[in-house]
Amino acid sequence: MPTASPDWPALAAAFFEHQTIQHVAPVGNGNINDTYRLDIGGASWILQRLNHLVFTDPEGVMRNIAAVAAHLQRKPDFPLRVPAPLAGPGGRVLHQDAAGNYWRVFPFFDNTFAPEQLPDPSVALAAAGAYGVFLEALRDFPADQLVETIPGFHDTERRWAVFLSVLEKDPAGRVSSTQTEIGALVAAKPVFEAVRQLKQSGRLPVRVTHNDTKAGNVLLDVHRGTAVAVIDWDTIMPGTVLSDFGDMVRTFAPDFSEDHPGALTLRLDSVEALFRGFLTQTAGFLTAAERESLVLGALWIVGEQALRFLSDYLAGDVYYKIKYPAHNLVRAQNQLALFQALNQQRVALERLAAGAAT
């Protein structure tokens, strides 16, 4: 979070000439960036502070976003709205303020909502279709033209090495009290190894992927429930569709959010909707290995997120925003419970995937 209140007039001047802000209000509950709705000059916009401690190459992030936006805008049949960044009077889409924070502005899409809380299967279907449309439209974008905005973002082997280092150093003195969670992650490691082998074999094509396909990163029409836009493009970079589908399952399928302590249940009707929505839009270009590994992708991303939450908790909560001291531990326990639920239902899930692909 910024250490002081933003200089709203200076930010307005950076993107809008000779206009006065009418209203500013926080939007959403993201763990990384700070987002506001900005009403100015009779229109509404999204003003966002890009967390440069997480995204250490802000210029690279914005180059990626601008390039992808231009690519999609050139496609006459792309059915979604494109959240292209706004260039200020000087032509720049990124502004650094006096405190060193980085800001950008995107369109605000009226009459839309982001399905943050336990979306039902109809929402899962629409959102998965939107993510599928997004990936299909980017299949001809050269992935090597994009920078890695978070190097090693889905390099689970690298994250595992960090985890082992934190275990050894125990900087927050929390290792002894988390042996159950540590053991559960060790038990999940074969999934990480299976994905590593698939990647190294070349059976998973490197594609332009979103890499943060949670429920809240699709905007739906408030009246019709149809998809309007895929948003939050900071992690667009080279990757595999397994991670994009996996993160959808992670956020759409459980009956509780990732912050919920205690037991959870896997909603198979929502998972089936994800398969149908996603494969309807992508089956024509996905390889057989990609289609057959979607369930593995779900296990991978859920397990990797558990690894990230627990590593952060053991390190002393240095990455994710937390609301109370055990917040990251609760998140890790939640993701481990979801991993176990997915693993128990793996055969049934693979049947659902096969049925949706036909």
Question: CA 97 to CA 281: how far, in whole Å?
Answer: 41
Burial 128-145 (b: 16+ CB within 10 A, else e): bbbbbbbbbbbeeeebee
Pairing of strands 21-26, 34-40: antiparallel
Q: 42 CB contacts (<8 Å, ≥6 apart)?
A: none
Q: What average pLDDT is seen over the chain?
A: 94
Average pLDDT of the segment spanning 100-104: 96
Residue 233 token pair = 């493009």
Across the range 44-48, mean pLDDT stands at 96
Q: What is the pLDDT of residue 116?
A: 75
Mean pLDDT of 283-295: 94
pLDDT of residue 210: 98
Looking at residue 27, its pLDDT comes to 86
- At 1, is the pLDDT very low, low, confident or very high (cuts 50, 70, 90)? very low
Residue 29: per-residue pLDDT = 66
Domain(s) labelled CATH 3.30.200.20 in the chain stretch across 8-108
Residues of the chain with CATH 3.90.1200.10: 121-357
State the average pLDDT over residues 12-17.
92
121-357 folds as Aminoglycoside 3'-phosphotransferase; Chain: A, domain 2 (3.90.1200)
- Residues whose CB falls within 8 Å of the CB of residue 107, separated by 6 or more in sequence, listed in order: 45, 46, 81, 83, 84, 86
Per-residue pLDDT at 167 exceeds 70: yes
Residue 49 has φ and ψ, to the nearest 5°, of -90, 120
Per-residue pLDDT averaged across 67-91, rounded?
96
Whether residue 39 is predicted with pLDDT greater than 50 in this model: the reply is yes
2 confidence band (pLDDT: 50, 70, 90): very low
- Mean pLDDT for 82-107 is 95
Place of tokens 């996905």: 286
* CATH classification number, 8-108, choose in 3.30.1540.10, 3.30.200.20, 3.90.190.20, 3.40.462.10: 3.30.200.20
Residue 65: the pLDDT is: 98
Query: Could you tell me if 210 and 243 are in contact, meaning their C-beta atoms sit under 8 angstroms apart?
Result: no
Q: pLDDT by residue (tens digit) across 198-250? A: 999 999 999 999 999 988 899 999 999 999 999 999 999 999 999 999 999 99
Compute the average pLDDT of residues 190-194.
97
Residue 241 near residue 135, CB atoms below 8 Å:
yes
Residue 57 has pLDDT above 50, yes or no: yes
- Residue 30's pLDDT is 65
